[in-house]
Amino acid sequence: MPNFKIPEMAQSEFAMWQSMLESRSGLWLPETRKAFLVTNLHRHMREKGIATFNDFYELLDRREVSSIEWAELVDSLTVHETCFYRDKDSLNLVISYCRNRALGDWAIDPQKHVNMHLWSVGCSTGEETYTLALEMEKLNLSLSESSGKNLYYGVTGIDVSYPSLAVARDGIYTGRSLDFLPTTSLNNYFERLENRQVQVSEDIRKRTCFMQANILELESQPSQKFDVIYCQNVLIYFKQERKEEIISDFEKRLKPGGILVLGHGEITSVNSPSLTRVDNKHCLAFIKNEYSTTKKSELA
Ligand SMILES: C[S@@+](CC[C@H](N)C(=O)[O-])C[C@H]1O[C@@H](n2cnc3c(N)ncnc32)[C@H](O)[C@@H]1O
């Protein structure tokens, strides 16, 4: 009869696991998450027939576990919770920023082809990426009605989790992730499927793409720059030093005048002199210097 009793994990062992997970994935599990780690590791160990935490640790440390198995382990320790329209204030800020930029650019050159590329970082199962695309589509319609001009936009979602990205690419949702989706968005930009499922319309899906990437290894990604970097509920799981490195990488990926929008309380300070905090008490956002058309106060 197999032994399903969960073994004890010594404090020194927990510290070793904390350190390995942090250095290889950025995931920082505080003391309060020890029981969660233990239960998860035990489940993986049972599936693989590994007897002790130490044996499992050694296998991972010697990299004798495939990268897929490592990714599965990290995935099971990561929070993927998300939904459509999760943070309306941040979303409104992005749309207001894009509107002001387009109008500012057309005021200088009415013929200008205005392109906006948004990056949804840590996009999980895609709801955030599609929310941005839906709102950009609405903005485009309203600008084309009022000025006869079109805004060209694309939204790229990245996440480290392969299973989450597979859901994102299908764009099929049901249940709680739709709770805050406005009925007009549901009616206009989704197709109804069987079993109360809905799928993001093809027009919106065409505006999005999803890529697997680790935000700790952004240098290995194509060196593209973005107008908007939207990163919510991701950095809270990282240590302060890591957050600073990631913000510095984001800053390099922002176009001059671009906007970085983070989640509330995601970071306590930003040291980059080229990022200026947007004066908006509902959002945590920064503009990269060197852009004059959109004044920061217009976004407050
Ligand atoms: C709580 S979800 C947030 C989803 C969405 N941004 C939102 O606010 O609703 C956090 C996501 O960050 C992703 N993530 C965690 N560490 C990451 C890393 N090192 N690189 C890329 N994505 C990461 C996780 O896989 C997870 O899907």
Give CA–CA dist 14/33, Å, rounded: 10
Per residue in 240-296, pLDDT (tens digit) is 889 999 999 999 999 999 999 999 888 877 888 899 999 999 999 999 997 444 445
Residues 68 and 147 in one domain: no
From 127, 234, 249, 253, give the residue whose CB has the most ligand 1 atoms within 8 Å, as the site to mutate.
234
Per residue in 57-83, pLDDT (tens digit) is 999 988 888 888 888 999 999 999 999
Residue 80 exposure: Cα atoms within 13 Å on the Cβ side: 19
Domain assignment present for residue 83? The answer is no
Domain assignment present for residue 186? The answer is yes
87 CB near ligand 1 (under 6 Å) = no
Residues 31 and 170 in one domain: no
214 CB near ligand 1 (under 6 Å) = yes
Give CA–CA dist 81/117, Å, rounded: 25
pLDDT band (50, 70, 90) for residue 18: very high
CATH number, domain of 252, equals 3.40.50.150
Tell the residue number behind the tokens 């994935």, with chain if given: 25
90 CB near ligand 1 (under 6 Å) = no
Q: Determine the distance separating the centroid of ligand 1 and the alpha carbon of 33, expressed in angstroms.
A: 17
211 CB near ligand 1 (under 6 Å) = no
CATH number, domain of 15, equals 1.10.155.10
In this structure, are residues 41 and 8 in contact, taking their beta carbons and an 8 Å threshold?
no
Residues 56 and 194 in one domain: no
List the domain range (segments joined by +) for residue 51. Answer: 11-76
Q: Determine the distance separating the centroid of ligand 1 and the alpha carbon of 60, expressed in angstroms.
A: 23
Domain assignment present for residue 47? The answer is yes
Q: Calculate mean pLDDT across residues 208-234.
A: 92
Given 45, 76, 107, which residue is the final one in a domain? 76
The proportion of the chain whose per-residue pLDDT surpasses 90, expressed as a percent, equals 79
221 CB near ligand 1 (under 6 Å) = no
Residues 41 and 163 in one domain: no
* Domain tally, the chain: 2
